[in-house]
Amino acid sequence: DQQVKQNSPSLSVQEGRISILNCDYTNSMFDYFLWYKKYPAEGPTFLISISSIKDKNEDGRFTVFLNKSAKHLSLHIVPSQPGDSAVYFCAASAKKYGGSQGNLIFGKGTKLSVKP
């Protein structure tokens, strides 16, 4: 069963408007969340992260919101630009005790298209 879910496979937004990408998770032990962006023929590129001790983290046009009670996080891009068109992956990890460290669990991705 998927622990990290991105229920929208695609999203289309007009340039200059806000893009909101959503991600849900099921494992309450997850305490670190990341967003990656992937262009065709390239590997995923780290975009922004958030720790469970926060509910918001902002970096330029990108803001990630975390709602722990709902086990939901979202990535806001504003204003959206055509160069933002890519596949966005949500990932989560949980601290493991006893020597092993958390590994990333990825969602299936959402393809964002920003139209000029």
Partner 1 sequence: ETGVTQTPRHLVMGMTNKKSLKCEQHLGHNAMYWYKQSAKKPLELMFVYSLEERVENNSVPSRFSPECPNSSHLFLHLHTLQPEDSALYLCASSQRPGTGFTDTQYFGPGTRLTVL
Where along the sequence are the contacts to partner 1 (CB under 8 A)? 2, 4, 31-32, 34, 36, 41-46, 49, 89, 93-97, 99-109
Q: Give 50's contacts (C-beta < 8 A, 6+ positions apart).
A: 32, 33, 34, 56, 57, 64, 66, 73
- Residue 14 or 58: the one with the smaller Cβ distance to partner 1 is 58
For the bound state, the minimum distance from the C-beta of residue 109 to partner 1, rounded and expressed in Å, comes to 8
For the bound state, the minimum distance from the C-beta of residue 16 to partner 1, rounded and expressed in Å, comes to 30
For the bound state, the minimum distance from the C-beta of residue 15 to partner 1, rounded and expressed in Å, comes to 27
Strands of the 72-77 sheet, one edge to the other: 4-5, 19-25, 72-77, 62-67, 56-59
